[in-house]
Amino acid sequence: MRRVPTVLIGLSALLLSACSAAPTGQAITGSDEAAVSESRLAPSVVVTTTILGSVVGDILTCATGDDSSMTVLMPLGADPHDFQASSAQVAMMAGADLVVANGEGLEEGVLDAIDGVEADGVTVLRIASLVDPLPFGDSHAEEEGDVHSHDDDHDSHADEAEHSEEDDHAEHEHGEFDPHFWFDMERMALAAELIGEALAAGGDETLASCGAETATDIRVVDREVSAILGSVPEDQRVLVTDHDALGYLAERYDYDVVGVVIPGGSTLGDPNSKELAELVAEIEDQQVRALFGDQAVSPDLLLTLSEEVGDTIEVVELFVGSLGGPDSGAESYLEMMMTNATRIATALGD
Q: Is 83:107 a contact under the CB 8 Å cutoff?
A: yes
Rounded Cα distance, 341 and 224, in Å: 9
What pLDDT is recorded for position 42?
82
Taking alpha carbons only, the member of 153, 117, 172 closest to residue 251 is 153
**pTM of this structure:** 0.79
Element (DSSP H or E) covering residue 260: strand 256-262
Q: Are strands 123-126 and 142-143 parallel, antiparallel or unpaired?
A: unpaired
- Burial string for 17-42 (b: 16+ CB within 10 Å, else e) reads eeeeeeeeeeeeeeeeeeebeeebeb
Rounded Cα distance, 65 and 19, in Å: 13
Name all domains of the chain by residue range, CATH numbers in brackets. Answer: 11-133+178-220 (3.40.50.1980), 144-173+233-348 (3.40.50.1980)
Per-residue pLDDT tens listing for the chain (350 residues): 444 333 333 333 333 333 323 333 333 334 443 333 344 578 999 999 999 999 999 999 999 999 999 999 999 999 998 899 999 999 999 999 999 999 999 999 999 999 999 999 999 999 999 999 999 865 544 333 333 333 344 344 334 434 433 444 333 444 689 999 999 999 999 999 999 999 998 778 999 999 999 999 999 999 999 999 999 999 999 999 988 899 999 999 999 999 888 766 555 556 667 778 888 888 888 889 999 999 988 888 888 888 888 767 899 999 999 999 999 999 999 999 999 999 999 999 98
Half-sphere exposure of 7 (CA within 13 A, CB side): 16
3-class SS letters over 96-154: CCEEEECCCCCCCCCHHHHHHHHHCCCEEEECHHHCCCCECCCCCCEECCEECCHHHHH
- Burial string for 193-203 (b: 16+ CB within 10 Å, else e) reads bbbbbbbbbbe
Sheet containing 45-47, strands listed edge to edge, beginning at the edge strand earlier in sequence: 70-72, 45-47, 98-101, 123-126
Rounded Cα distance, 267 and 280, in Å: 19
CB-count exposure of residue 95 (10 Å: 0-12, 13-18, 19+): exposed
Q: Is 205:257 a contact under the CB 8 Å cutoff?
A: no
C-alpha distances (whole Å) from 44 to each of 4, 14, 64, 67 are: 25, 9, 12, 10
